[in-house]
Amino acid sequence: MSKVLGSAPYATVLNQDIYELSSTQKHRLGTRCVRGDRAFRYAKAIASFTRTSTLAYSYYHQDIAYAAIATASVVGDNKIYVTVGAADGIANDGVFAAHSLEGGSLVIFDASANENMYFGILDNNAAVSGGTMTITLDGELPLATVATTYHVEAIGSPYRVGVGNPGGLRYWAGLPMRMATTTNPYFWLQTWGPCWIAPQTSVGASANHGCVVARHDGSLDVQDTSGYSDAQIVGSVMSYSQAGGQGAPIIMLQIAP
């Protein structure tokens, strides 16, 4: 347990310090903590890290692809019921463990009036392909009925992460504060604010080279580097050298404030 100072006029008490690893989960995945200019999210390493010098990526692809509503819900409900697809889930096998979508997000497509709805996910029960999964939302449904003609797309928490090369096909979630392992997988990711991330040689090396993107391996490069012009923008250079070249450089990370 620790107190976080500088985040606000009062102290925030955490069950697990920003620089601490844990074998057990002490906060909900995605729990947000702020210390001065820096923001953090509580995260879980899916595979052991080999470095903390690069960004960590959201480990899984989309969890639920355009699933049909199995049983209707009505206004005020905070639960929806979806039919699990054969290729849904983290292993593409239609299997969902209980609570595996905690901290995720979803969209409900309104089939009647195009009034789509967007929620965070608090929880889910275990389910398999063809079965019905109950998803608990972080709010109450505003429409009279979520009918069986409606559909849902969903992701689990983006803070289930890995370090390495996801081949340019994953979201970069933040910078690990510790070398998490599968034995001690719970840790904090920095998602906003000043930090250092391994820079390629062009980053902040000359005039107007301040916008940085994440490469396939989680290191940083400038946006106009071949192959990375459409890569995820993750921040800006805060520090050039006195001569106008590449400093450290310290980066203003800008993923999730």
Partner 1 sequence: MDTREEMKERCLQEIERQDEEAAAAKVKGEEASGEE
Please give the residue ranges that form the binding site for partner 1 (CB under 8 A).
50-51, 53-54, 164-165, 198-200, 216-219, 248
Which residue, 132 or 201, has its beta carbon nearer to partner 1? 201
C-beta of 67 vs 197, nearer to partner 1: 197
> Least separation, in Å, of the C-beta of 20 and partner 1?
24
Give the nearest distance from C-beta 37 to partner 1 in angstroms: 23
Q: Which is nearer to partner 1, 32 or 216 (CB)?
A: 216
Distance CA 218, CA 59 (A): 13
| Nearer CB in complex with partner 1: 5/248 | 248
Bond prior to 194 in cis (omega within 30° of 0): no
Alpha-carbon span 59 to 105, nearest angstrom: 15
Alpha carbon distances (Å) from 109 to 95, 146, 190:
23, 9, 32
Min separation Cβ 7 and partner 1, Å? 30
Q: Are 67 and 132 in contact (CB under 8 A)?
A: no
CB of 229 to partner 1, least distance (A): 20
- Within 13 Å, how many C-alpha atoms sit on residue 255's CB side? 28
